[in-house]
Amino acid sequence: MDWSNFALVALMSALGLIFLQFLTWVWSQRAGKLSVADSVWGAGFVVVGLMSLLFGSGDGQRRLLLFVLVALWGLRLSWHIYVRSRDKGEDPRYAELYGDMNPKAAALRVFGFQGLLQFGVSLPLQGSAAAGATTGFGWVLLVLGVIAYAIGLTFEVVGDAQLKAYMKKKDANKSNVMDEGLWAWTRHPNYFGDACLWWGFFLIALSGSWALWWTLVGPAIMTFLLRNGSGAKTLEKSMKERPGYREYMQRTAYFFPRPPKK
């Protein structure tokens, strides 16, 4: 494990994220809303993946693998959120949290905090870039990591597609709550998918060096945010008032999937 190279990758990742958040702040000024931050959430990790690929001195094949995987996920997520929100005004969550704040202070808090989170969550990517070749039991961890990533990406992509199809469905008998497909197994398949693939990234990083065990803080932060922070918990505060949602909560798992209760 080359810790001096890890420091270089971390520095370049931080600079890349600062530049990205500056551009996002400029975009928010033109758009008149802070919620554009959501559209660059995934893209920020692609920036870190690129810095890790370019400046890392660790195993080249694993650096390339992680970059491809994070780019596939991050760019899809950013595009999905951008398309979903481009014709809408400010997100109610941002209006509630920052509506009474000074605009400059609100922007610093939103974009600065997001950059810090992106840096912390992406520690497995940065650490792996400075780790040696995968050998021995590391191959088992790498395979398990790719499997976890594939499961997570499937949950996210399929869940988003099923929800989109439900929203477009014109049926007088359509339920008030999306409870079909993956949404019958967990109330938040896309959030669960995000958490799952980041644990996959951690396992792939660990396959290069056991010294990177501490980078589990990255997926731990992501899982907490998705389950207990600005993800599922915040969304359900408003969803509880929708007719039929409380019954849906009783029969469907909150986060980790399981068969629905009858």
Give the pLDDT confidence of 112-123 residue by residue, as tens digits: 889 999 999 999
Range of lowest pLDDT (192-201, 221-230, 239-248): 239-248
pTM: 0.90
* Among the listed residues 153, 10, 128, the one whose alpha carbon sits nearest the alpha carbon of residue 71: 153
User: ∠ at Cα 126 (111, 214), nearest 5°?
Assistant: 100
CB 39 within 8 A of CB 7: no
- B/e letters for 217-253, b = 16+ CB within 10 Å, e = fewer, are ebbbbbbebbbeeebbbeeeeeeeeeeebeebeeebb
pLDDT, tens digit, 9 for 90 and up, residues 15-53: 999 999 999 998 888 888 887 888 899 999 999 999 999
CB 62 within 8 A of CB 208: yes
User: ∠ at Cα 205 (57, 12), nearest 5°?
Assistant: 45
Which residue, chain included where needed, has tokens 């993800």? Answer: 231
- Model confidence at 171: pLDDT above 70: no
Structure confidence at residue 182 (pLDDT): 93
**CB atoms inside a 10 Å sphere around CB 216:** 17
Structure confidence at residue 96 (pLDDT): 65
Q: Which distant-in-sequence residues (6+ apart) come within 8 Å of 28 by Cβ?
A: 34, 36, 37, 107, 111
Question: What mean pLDDT is reported for the chain?
Answer: 89
Structure confidence at residue 179 (pLDDT): 82
Sign, Cα dihedral of 133, 135, 141, 144:
positive
When pLDDT is cut at 50, 70 and 90, the band that residue 180 belongs to is: confident
pLDDT, tens digit, 9 for 90 and up, residues 147-168: 999 999 999 999 999 988 888 8
- Model confidence at 100: pLDDT above 70: no
Structure confidence at residue 240 (pLDDT): 75
